[in-house]
């Protein structure tokens, strides 16, 4: 008789765990695919501050990987700046591949020349490798919760960005 009682208790426990797992809200996995939570990172900015991706939760974020020697990067920078200036709910984080640059001063001169207003993050830690960036520019488009909406391995225009972000 007590065996039936134990078997019933174990069965109820298993059913309870199954229901718990089905009803419990799941956090998206951290990864690089659409719908994944983008991996957080912390980098120094051109102006000496520290910025983390998680600092920008609540806004749509364009994480743009670029370098000064990349001609398509130079071409898209004004459009990225226009998006950030025109839409308060959007942030641009320009992650510079600093290890390939002549110097940080060269990066600063580039940003000054183009009058960029968004944060320039200096990637001396290999964040681009963590994000599997193989070509420049590459842009990760994130929603307000930091989930990846899409990844673009190309230069983007203002119009394309507005379409991606439903602006």
Q: Is 27 left (phi over 0), alpha (psi -120 to 50) or beta?
A: beta
Tens digit of pLDDT per residue, the chain (167 long)?
A: 666 666 565 566 557 655 656 665 566 788 999 999 999 999 999 999 999 999 999 999 999 999 999 999 999 999 999 999 999 999 999 999 999 999 999 999 999 999 999 999 999 989 999 999 999 999 999 999 999 999 999 999 999 999 999 98
Pairing status of strand 90-96 against strand 120-122: parallel
Say what the pTM is: 0.84
The Cα–Cα gap between 159 and 161 comes to: 5
Nearest to residue 61, comparing CAs of 118, 152, 146, 153? Answer: 146
Chain segment 38-64, per-residue pLDDT in tens: 999 999 999 999 999 999 999 999 999
Return the closest-CA partner of residue 119 out of 58, 165, 64, 54. Answer: 64
Pick the CATH number of 29-164 from 3.40.30.10, 1.10.3720.10, 3.30.590.10, 3.40.640.10: 3.40.30.10
43, 104 Cβ separation under 8 angstroms: no
């Amino acid at each position: 008789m007590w065996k039936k009682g134990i078997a019933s208790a174990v069965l109820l426990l298993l059913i309870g765990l199954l229901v718990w797992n089905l009803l419990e809200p799941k956090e998206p996995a951290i990864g690089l695919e659409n719908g994944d939570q983008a991996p957080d990172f912390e980098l120094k900015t051109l102006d000496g501050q520290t910025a983390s991706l998680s600092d920008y939760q609540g806004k749509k974020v364009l994480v743009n990987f670029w370098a000064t020697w990349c001609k398509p990067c130079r071409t898209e920078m004004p459009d990225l700046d226009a998006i950030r200036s025109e839409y308060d709910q959007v942030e641009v984080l320009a992650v510079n591949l600093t290890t390939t640059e002549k110097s940080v001063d060269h990066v600063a001169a580039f940003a000054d020349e183009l009058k960029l207003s968004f944060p320039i993050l200096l990637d001396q830690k290999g964040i681009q490798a963590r994000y599997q960036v193989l070509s420049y520019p590459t842009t990760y488009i994130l929603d307000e919760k930091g989930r990846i909406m899409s990844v673009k391995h190309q230069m983007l225009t203002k119009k394309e960005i507005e379409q991606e972000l439903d602006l």
